[in-house]
């Protein structure tokens, strides 16, 4: 075990990937967790909706963990909290907006545990053993975001959380750059900073500019306007609603998650008050030019409001001639195809579409290179460790730190344990992580959820075969019946030939062959038959009915 002047840092997620942010910090037997996020699985991950951090490894730390700290309310920071709290039932310290969100989501969707929530605000401090954690205001794309100043026996660690440096945030609550400079003056042992936009030059577009641009588009639109964005972007939603109201329009919010985030905003004093909202069921009673619809679905998620409306499947929202659709969000890499398909469908319905590519209607929540350098230069750390991002983003951010004069800038990956002392920082261990996945009510690792088998079934289809073995006057008879699922219709003609081939193989076995050997022979025969004829190795399920078997 490391000495009592060594800080140990163990990232469970968020390094080398976007999402599932969670890191453990510990000195001796006193540990705490920063963030507990999920990652949304790619559509090809058949059988898994989201992935969770390695809860098995976490259980090994259970007795040492004293607290969980949450930086802000995005799903990739809070989405796994109920699972993490189930393993480690310790106090959770989170900003007010995130607390309200967690309570509302638990009430609406249920949770595997009820985390013990404690609200914290900028300037608050908590203690964990020989460490203290102070909360600092940062700006991002969801209300009420915090960075951390962690004082440890190894020195001061600054954690940026997710941030951008918006000089003119809509809620007027600026990032506390003076505090970061003050910490720099105090002397920072280690800076851990958000790398999401480390490959993008310049600075992000201020939110006020985005608000003005969307406001102009709304004011100039001859007909109905539909704005799609992330429900978590509460302040932008408020700004857009205000612009619509001053252009003489009424506002409707469509999508369950929008209402949850708005409610969390009201409860935590972060806005969310939109006057005279139009109820969804009354949309048809408001003439087009008097209406602004704010909805979810900017990533073309299949069941979202905009996606359903684009296919003509939404009960209350019909997109038509003269409508303007404003996609006020980033096109997240990987979602391009479904988004473009949705835009084509909307255009086909006669509406005009504005995207971040064609108008200044979106600004990222994550600092770009100039802002990242500004933070590094304010904090002036001895060691720099990029967090939150794919590997190339982390490396680019480490390079930026080196250019800004940090001598020790290094990329650490998930599962690598970094031991930090006053004058040294070394990777002391590398642990193979075994992430968990959620499939409806079931949680398990990849092998427990049989993810690779389910993917294989998707690619190859399934063959089910029943073999009946009978004996007539001492002569063996084999009958095989073969059926398939997920095979091309052209394969139907081959089923008899497949059955004949399998029968012959089984007939070639000695008379005393066991049921197990018969089953294996049947499986092998069918697999090789379809490999030869269709160039696929299907999943084969066999049933053998043998006398005495």
State in angstroms the smallest separation of the CB of 280 from Zn ion: 28
CA torsion 297-303-307-311 (nearest 10°) is -170
State in angstroms the smallest separation of the CB of 148 from Zn ion: 14
Q: Is 24 or 142 the residue whose CB approaches Zn ion more closely?
A: 142
Q: Alpha-carbon torsion 137, 138, 139, 143, what sign? A: negative
Q: Is 162 or 371 the residue whose CB approaches Zn ion more closely?
A: 162
Three-class DSSP category at 316: coil
Q: Is 71 or 85 the residue whose CB approaches Zn ion more closely?
A: 71
Strands 145-152 and 131-138, by their bridges, are antiparallel
Q: Is 270 or 542 the residue whose CB approaches Zn ion more closely?
A: 270
Query: Residues interacting with Zn ion, by CB under 5 A?
Result: 74, 162
Q: Alpha-carbon torsion 116, 132, 188, 205, what sign? A: positive
State in angstroms the smallest separation of the CB of 325 from Zn ion: 25
Give the DSSP H/E element, type plus range, for residue 101.
helix 96-109
State in angstroms the smallest separation of the CB of 91 from Zn ion: 22
Three-state secondary structure along 36-90?
CCCEECCCCCCCCCEEECCHHHHHHHHHHEEEEECCCCCHHHHCCHHHHHHHCCC
Indicate the DSSP class of residue 289. G
CA–CA dist 322, 456 (Å, integer): 46
CA–CA dist 38, 47 (Å, integer): 16
Tokens read off for 472: 């007539």
Q: Is 302 or 334 the residue whose CB approaches Zn ion more closely?
A: 334
Q: Is 128 or 142 the residue whose CB approaches Zn ion more closely?
A: 142
Q: Is 100 or 162 the residue whose CB approaches Zn ion more closely?
A: 162
CB proximity list for 424: less than 8 A, separation 6 or greater: none
State in angstroms the smallest separation of the CB of 74 from Zn ion: 4
Q: Is 50 or 544 the residue whose CB approaches Zn ion more closely?
A: 50
State in angstroms the smallest separation of the CB of 122 from Zn ion: 17
Q: In 3D, which of 181, 74, 93 has the Cα closest to residue 131?
A: 93
State in angstroms the smallest separation of the CB of 425 from Zn ion: 26
State in angstroms the smallest separation of the CB of 95 from Zn ion: 12
Q: Is 69 or 274 the residue whose CB approaches Zn ion more closely?
A: 69
Backbone angles phi, psi at 474, to 5 degrees: 80, -10
CA–CA dist 332, 339 (Å, integer): 9
State in angstroms the smallest separation of the CB of 104 from Zn ion: 18
């Amino acid at each position: 075990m490391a000495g009592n002047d060594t800080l140990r840092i163990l990232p469970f997620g968020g390094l080398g990937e976007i999402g599932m942010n969670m890191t453990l910090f510990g000195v001796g037997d006193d540990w705490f967790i920063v963030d507990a996020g999920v990652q949304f699985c790619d559509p090809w991950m058949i059988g898994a909706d989201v992935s969770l951090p390695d809860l098995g490894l976490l259980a090994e730390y259970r007795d040492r963990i004293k607290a969980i700290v949450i930086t802000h309310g995005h799903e990739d920071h809070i989405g796994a909290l109920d699972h993490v709290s189930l393993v480690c039932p310790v106090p959770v310290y989170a900003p007010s907006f995130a607390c309200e969100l967690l309570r509302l989501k638990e009430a609406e969707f249920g949770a595997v545990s009820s985390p013990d929530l404690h609200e914290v605000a900028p300037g608050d401090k908590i203690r964990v053993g020989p460490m203290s954690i102070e909360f600092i205001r940062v700006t991002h794309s969801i209300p009420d975001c915090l960075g951390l100043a962690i004082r440890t026996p190894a020195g001061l660690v600054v954690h940026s959380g997710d941030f951008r440096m918006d000089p003119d945030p809509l809620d007027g609550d600026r990032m506390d750059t003076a505090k970061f400079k003050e910490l720099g003056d105090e002397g920072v042992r280690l800076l851990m900073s958000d790398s999401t936009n480390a490959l993008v030059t310049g600075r992000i577009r201020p939110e006020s500019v985005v608000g003005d641009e969307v406001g102009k588009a709304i004011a100039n639109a001859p007909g109905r306007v539909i704005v799609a964005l992330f429900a978590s972007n509460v302040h932008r939603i408020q700004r857009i609603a205000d612009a619509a109201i001053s252009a003489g329009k009424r506002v409707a919010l469509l999508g369950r998650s929008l209402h949850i985030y708005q409610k969390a905003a009201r409860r935590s004093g972060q806005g969310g008050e939109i006057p005279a909202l139009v109820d969804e069921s009354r949309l048809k009673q408001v003439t087009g030019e008097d209406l602004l619809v704010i909805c979810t679905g900017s990533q073309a998620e299949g069941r979202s409001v905009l996606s359903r409306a684009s296919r003509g499947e939404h009960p209350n929202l019909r997109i038509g001639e003269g409508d303007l659709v404003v996609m006020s969000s980033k096109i997240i890499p990987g979602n391009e195809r479904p988004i473009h398909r949705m835009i084509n469908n909307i255009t086909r319905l006669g509406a005009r579409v504005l995207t971040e590519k064609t108008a200044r209607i979106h600004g990222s929540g994550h600092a770009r290179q100039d802002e990242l350098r500004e933070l590094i230069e304010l904090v002036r750390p001895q060691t720099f460790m990029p967090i939150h991002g794919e590997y190339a983003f982390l490396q680019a951010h480490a390079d930026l730190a080196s250019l800004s004069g940090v001598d020790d800038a290094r990329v650490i990956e998930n599962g690598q344990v970094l031991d930090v002392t006053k004058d040294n920082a070394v990777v002391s261990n590398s642990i193979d992580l075994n992430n968990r996945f959620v499939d409806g009510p079931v949680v398990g690792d990849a092998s427990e959820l049989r993810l690779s088998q389910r993917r294989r079934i998707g690619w190859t289809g399934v063959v089910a075969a029943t073999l009946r073995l009978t004996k007539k006057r001492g002569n063996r008879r084999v009958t095989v019946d073969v059926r398939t699922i997920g095979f091309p219709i052209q394969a139907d003609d081959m089923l008899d030939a497949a059955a004949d081939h399998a029968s012959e193989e089984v007939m070639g076995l000695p008379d005393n062959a066991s049921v197990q050997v018969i089953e294996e022979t049947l499986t092998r025969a069918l697999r090789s038959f379809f490999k030869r004829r269709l160039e696929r190795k299907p999943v084969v399920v066999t049933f053998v009915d043998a006398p005495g078997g």
